[in-house]
Amino acid sequence: MARLFSPRPPPSEDLFYETYYSLSQQYPLLLLLLVIVLFGLLALLTVAWASGRELASDPGFLTTMLCGLGGFSLLLGLASREQRLQRWTRPLSGLVWAALLALGHGFLFTGGVVSAWDQVSFFLFVIFTVYAMLPLGMRDAAAAGLASSLSHLLVLGLYLGPQPDSQPALLPQLAANAVLFLCGNVAGAYHKALMERALRATFREALSSLHSRRRLDTEKKHQEHLLLSILPAYLAREMKAEIMARLQAGQGSRPESTNNFHSLYVKRHQGVSVLYADIVGFTRLASECSPKELVLMLNELFGKFDQIAKEHECMRIKILGDCYYCVSGLPLSLPDHAVNCVRMGLDMCRAIRKLRAATGVDINMRVGVHSGSVLCGVIGLQKWQYDVWSHDVTLANHMEASGVPGRVHITGATLALLAGAYAVEEAAMEHGDPYLRELGEPTYLVIDPRAEEEDEKGTAGGLLSSLEGPKMRPSLLMTRYLESWGAAKPFAHLSHVESPVSTSTPLPVLVWGMMWPPVTLLPSHEPGEWGRTVTIHRRPLRWRLSSPACVLLLTSLHTLRIPFGAEESDCNQEKALSSFSPQWSLDRSRTPRGLDDELDTGDAKFFQVIEQLNSQKQWKQSEDFNPLTLYFREKEMEKEYRLSALPAFKYYAACTFLVFFSNFIIQMLVTNRPPALTITYSITFLLFFLLLFVCFSEHLTRCVLKGPKMLHWLPTLSVLVATRPGLRVALGTTTILLIFSMAITSLVFLPAASNCPFRAPNVSSTASNLSWELPGSLPLISVPYSMHCCVLGFLSCSLFLHMSFELKLLLLLLWLAASCSLFLHSHAWLSDCLIARLYLGTLDSSLLRPGVLKEPKLMGAISFFIFFFTLLVLARQNEYYCRLDFLWKKKLRQEQEETETMENLTRLLLENVLPAHVAPQFIGQNRRNEDLYHQSYECVCVLFASVPDFKEFYSESSINHEGLECLRLLNEIIADFDELLSKPKFSGVEKIKTICSTYMAATGLNATSGQDAQQDAEQSCSHLGTMVEFAVALGSKLDVINKHSFNNFRLRVGLNHGPVVAGVIGAQKPQYDIWGNTVNVASRMESTGVLGKIQVTEETACALQSLGYTCYSRGIIKVKGKGQLCTYFLNTDLTRTGPPSATLG
């Protein structure tokens, strides 16, 4: 039984739950109780009038009835105003209970002779409804139920005790009454405990569902931000659908396609302009920077360029080292795309000029622009980066490379689209590169109309270097100046991720009759405070809800920090306040208006959930329920509900056994205990014990396992009962029918028809000492107690909380018909005989008839009908909440699964942008993103692998859909390369990016900073072998593709190892990248390499030879930016001359 009572929740939640419970759940029950009582009183008057009784002859009964009708009508009027009930819940419930108690005592002393069995059924009704239908807590209900029981026992004991012994023994009847009331109290408390447990579970599940929805909304926003930070919206939708399909089918698997190709997300766009920009002099400057300075400098520079791009409707495509390129006219066509790119190029040059003027650092910006058409999209399976391909993109790249520092270099196609918006001058062809000279078309330099104005202003007094002193490093000057630009941090939106609050600790507060808190949360702007202060602004209500039950004081599900120094009174008032939305972070960047709107949205969602829990919804149209039958509209859900497990069934059976045991004690007290009755009860006890053993056999596992092996299967019976609905229905129905049968068993030992000896004309009116027993039969007083036992049988039906409403209705109707037929027809003479014996000796007895409630058969019939309708109302209410609880559990499970899918999607997307060891830095719940991510490594192996033949293979014609089919082949090449990364032995290889047909990867990035420096050289660079094996695997993959595509592509690979700086830059499209001389040299090793060979530097060759690889010298070659270098080729025909190293796993 202890499991039925949930642990007491925190006071704030308990307050909110009790308010929600009393208003939304028991409010309609209270109204129905008052209606039932009023109709019961009217039925009493109707029966009294129909039975020919003179109401005027019994003024006490008439007065009681009229007072009852008036009083309960007044109470119904008061209770119909829910807002009034909200303020006076306990007083009004007390008034209803007191009115019922007074009505019961009024019935005791009106209408005829007072007997010990008088009004027991009515007081049983009062006791049960106090628990089941009045909005009282368990303690208050228990106090009211016990007080009702004691009042009946004490009043009758004091009234009947001193009277002459004209009635049967008083003590056994009072003891039977006590048993009846005790059973009613226990059954009512049990019913209340079950309902409160179910309602509390539903309430918590609703809050959990609300949290899950908010988490789901948050995750959807995050993954949307992540997708949009990588891809345009139109492409993000397509790729998101494929990722969801992969997640549902299993991690890493691709959905089946109708062909053997990987999905290609590339589209052709015409009428666009492409801008390439390179920072001249940045390589030399970067060599002087610390890792933190380098990442900060790049983030601020490219963040500024992103802002300029946004202003001029350009989309940044990619960052390649210190090269930045973007496109205007994507994804939506723009008529002025050429003007946008030129303006952006001029603004970039202007920003660099200001930077140079302020810091004195010798850097400049070289920009090239060309207009044409592009193929745009994503290729590969990992590290997606939106890119563009076409001959026009290649031309724009060469325009930048052959441009003039500080100028915007454009083609004739772009100039034609400018329509005279800018003055230009023709560029000198001798400065162009061979690609442009081969084209033979003139190019132009745009004249910046604001350049002369800036030159006239000069830089006097503007140099930061003059203020900071001549000894400060240029990189530090740059960093300090760039910090003033205030570029956003990468993944800044993820800094607001907060873990959802546990549903077990919401902190609602209640203020009667008004909504609280109508608040707007504003951040404090005062530095140096612990936490953040929260200013509370009251504002008027913005919702008008359909049910006044939702007029609650609600606060958030997150506790707000109260700063030190706040006044104690303010702290006490505001300590429970918190925000409704889990994603609120009170960031200084958030505007008060935005928070106000978010509060509105959070409150509205909360009220929608509360409204859905309102019990009055069961009578209205719903998407989930049929309002008449309460069946789920989805057949599968209805089937799942009916087949769901019910572990609490054993407790239902235990409580019905208590009802049965109460009936047994009552029968033993008021009858002369005939042997046949004893035998019948003995058999029934045996059946009940067998039922209880079956239900609780799971708890007897240890005892059973110590016994014979043939009994070891018994504990599984309990599981079968809990999981098999057909077995539960059969056992439950059998249990209720047993109680019904045993309630009237004593009547079986009374004759079906007989002449009552007390109504014979020869019976002396003064023979008061005649027996109360029928000749050779049971005492007459067992008749009303059989009726009371029948009422307990009605109550037993309500104890099966999860029994279907239609089955309860069938059983109640069956029992109502059987009881009325028994007491009003076949055995009605027993009631008449009891009345005759009770009024024996009364003067002029022929003219005196007892009141309606003093006649057992009428009293029993009215009690049966009242309990029938009351329990029918409770049965429907129970059915609704059982189904509602199931529905919310199902919704919660679905939302949790969807949330988990979204979280996995977010994680997958983030890890597709960042390495696996970097992603947790941005999805951690406590990260504030105050610092840029950067990391320095002492030994990283960098690979550049290209397919140079693809440039010749690529063509744009109608046959290959303007180059689309060529990109489909490139997508297959890159995707096959990416698939190698999923192999365990290449788990240390990290893909960095693809640059057209060049694949860039690195190893050694998952080591902690400084770890390599503490190890010897061989151990620290052991991952070079992994990279060599990866390069060989890339060549093998390309050979397979050649075989299937009938091509002869060959791979050209360059390797180098050494120190690098890794970091994440860019707020609009965050990008993980590595920088350093090691990266530049590795790129040169590839570009100066030979097809089918792996070219390495001398230092890398020595490291590989120490790992067992064979290298041979190529000789000294000229490398751009590095002069003369001695390089080596790796012998890939025989990858190792020595035994395999364990470090290659």
Of 902, 215, 204, nearest to 500 (Cα)? 215
Q: What integer pLDDT is reported at residue 774 of this predicted model?
A: 54
- Identify the segments of the chain with pLDDT beneath 70: 1-25, 82-87, 164-168, 223, 226-227, 246-260, 429-432, 451-622, 700-712, 714, 749-778, 840-848, 922-931, 1007-1020, 1067-1068, 1133-1145
Pairing relationship of beta strands 323-328 and 387-389 according to DSSP bridges: unpaired
The rounded distance, in Å, linking the Cα atoms of 646 and 732 is 12
In three-state secondary structure terms, 848 is coil
Q: What integer pLDDT is reported at residue 823 of this predicted model?
A: 85
The rounded distance, in Å, linking the Cα atoms of 915 and 925 is 18
Let me know if 1084 is a catalytic residue: yes
Q: What integer pLDDT is reported at residue 24 of this predicted model?
A: 61
Instruction: Out of 304, 1084, 1093, 1114, pick the active-site residue.
Output: 1084
The token duo for 13 is: 């939640």
pLDDT digits over 378-420, tens only?
888 888 888 899 999 999 999 998 888 999 999 999 999 998 8
Is-contact 277 367, C-beta < 8 A?
yes
Is-contact 556 508, C-beta < 8 A?
no
Residues in the chain, how many?
A: 1145
The rounded distance, in Å, linking the Cα atoms of 868 and 820 is 12
The rounded distance, in Å, linking the Cα atoms of 669 and 676 is 16
Of 372, 375, 352, 371, nearest to 362 (Cα)? 352
CA separation, residue 554 to residues 546, 562, 572, 1058 (Å):
17, 19, 16, 59
The rounded distance, in Å, linking the Cα atoms of 574 and 511 is 13
Return the beta strands (E) in 582-710 as ranges.
none
The rounded distance, in Å, linking the Cα atoms of 47 and 111 is 14
The token duo for 919 is: 């992603």
Q: What integer pLDDT is reported at residue 843 of this predicted model?
A: 41
In three-state secondary structure terms, 1002 is strand
Which DSSP state fits 1090? -
Alpha carbon 1098 to its chain centroid, in Å, reads 57
Let me know if 1122 is a catalytic residue: no
Q: What integer pLDDT is reported at residue 247 of this predicted model?
A: 64
Which helix H or strand E contains 681, and what residues bound it? Answer: helix 675-696
Q: What integer pLDDT is reported at residue 184 of this predicted model?
A: 93
Of 40, 173, 162, 54, nearest to 107 (Cα)? 40
The token duo for 531 is: 């936490």
The token duo for 84 is: 């009034």
State which amino acid sits at residue 288.
Answer: E
CA separation, residue 727 to residues 691, 720, 723, 733 (Å):
12, 8, 9, 10
Instruction: Out of 284, 450, 639, 1120, pick the active-site residue.
Output: 1120
pLDDT digits over 330-385, tens only?
888 899 999 999 999 999 999 888 888 877 778 888 999 999 999 988 888 888 88
Q: What integer pLDDT is reported at residue 2 of this predicted model?
A: 43
